[in-house]
Structure 1
């Protein structure tokens, strides 16, 4: 099995929705573009990514949202070195269709109280649903490692919550551990590096906003 030396996860640059949450009332979430600041963030991430990969081959998976595609294009990677696939399972948590700003704020308040992993948006997904589709993607990813000529690098261009849930699934974090962590900022990246012992480690922890509150093992 040709496991990659590194798996890099990148959150998209700032989007129109990050800058102005009323845009969700007029535009579909998946169609939102990067802001000018988001383009700069993506370009800066691209510099770090090119330095990290050097001249090595990269297998790339991109969320189907416009902002993630725009982020990837801003990386300006050598086309001869990358194999790019759109991967719908790496999309943002579904919140429904067009969204009323006041309703979204109310549901966010409910989610903060109920828990980000289990709370389900009225017309969308829970964090647990995203976890399940990330797990299905990981099964496909592991099968791709069976190819002896698999590139030494994997790059995922995705979303903040999806990044945390990917790491939760990979490192077998508990729900309590997930709930204690914050999303990376726009344009931030995390690297899973393969060590000499055959295990992957995370180069940089996620910011922690509280101490995990374990539920125990009682039924």
Structure 2
């Protein structure tokens, strides 16, 4: 049996083009831009070619930008689940612009995995919840005969990288060396002969300090 998990980042959102939007709109409520909606429609065409009408289960971050991305894909699914464990890293509630920049600088200096944002989460916290999601998903695929072999996960850039970190047991140093995928870009994880494979590596902004790689 061949099992596939397709990880997809949402389209461009208002927060990606206007950082001050986080000061007036909760992160979970930020909408897609017009460009983000175009990206989602275009990705839908690519996904339909990839899926070839095979049954699909979709697990979607409940954030507005992820849910809207899924809707615009136009991909038919047999199971659709809002999954809070796939949400973006929590930066707290409405953000102060000065405090936001301070937090980003501290996070860069301290490390994206372990630094816990004030009133929010660390990357390690996100890692814990995506691990819980993966464990439950693998059990469903293995034991529920009605669950499709193909799963679509619509989520966020950091969440996608951490899902792969857990799946492939990547080091923290390697995770922190990877860049988020572009908006509405996907990665395909395939289970064949008991081993998970990633179709394409993530871009890296530096070599991993521990010399580990994605292969």
TM over 0.5: yes
Q: From 172, 183, 189, give the equivalent of 1:192.
A: 189
Q: Distance in 2 between matches of 1:68 and 1:60?
A: 12
Matches for 1:4-43 after TM superposition, within 5 Å: 5-43=3-41
Q: 1:105 aligns with which of 82, 101, 105?
A: 101
- Poorly superposed stretches of 4+, deviation over 3 Å: none
Secondary structure of 2:175 counterpart:
helix
Aligned length: 210
| 1:148 corresponds to 2:168 | no
- The SS at the match of 2:210 is coil
**Paired position in structure 1 for 2:90:** 94
Give the CA deviation at 1:4: 5.3
Instruction: Give the corresponding residue for 1:173.
Output: 170
The 1-side partners of 2:43 and 2:111 are apart by 31
Residue segments in structure 1 that go unaligned for 5+ positions in a row: none
Where structure 2 has 5 or more consecutive residues not aligned to the other structure, the ranges are none
Following superposition, the deviation at residue 11 of structure 1 comes to 0.3
Whether contact under 8 Å (1:131, 1:169) holds in the other structure is: yes
RMSD: 1.3
| TM-score where L is the length of structure 2 | 0.94
- The TM-score, its normalising length taken from structure 1, stands at 0.92
Cα contact 1:4–1:151 (8 A) shared by 2: no
In structure 2, how many angstroms separate the alpha carbons of the residues matched to 1:183 and 1:89? 18
Cα deviation, residue 184, structure 1: 0.6
Q: CA deviation at 1:154?
A: 0.3
Instruction: Measure, in 2, the Cα distance between the counterparts of 1:62 and 1:173.
Output: 24
Q: Is the 8 A contact 1:4 1:154 kept in 2?
A: no
Are the counterparts in 2 of residues 45 and 75 from structure 1 also a CA contact under 8 Å? yes
Alignment partners' CA distance in 2, 1:19 and 1:34: 10
**Does the aligned pair in 2 maintain the 1:61–1:86 contact within 8 Å?**
yes
User: Per-residue displacement from partner, 1:190-218 (whole Å, max 9, x unpaired)?
Assistant: 000233x3312111100011111139xxx
Q: Is the 8 A contact 1:57 1:153 kept in 2?
A: yes
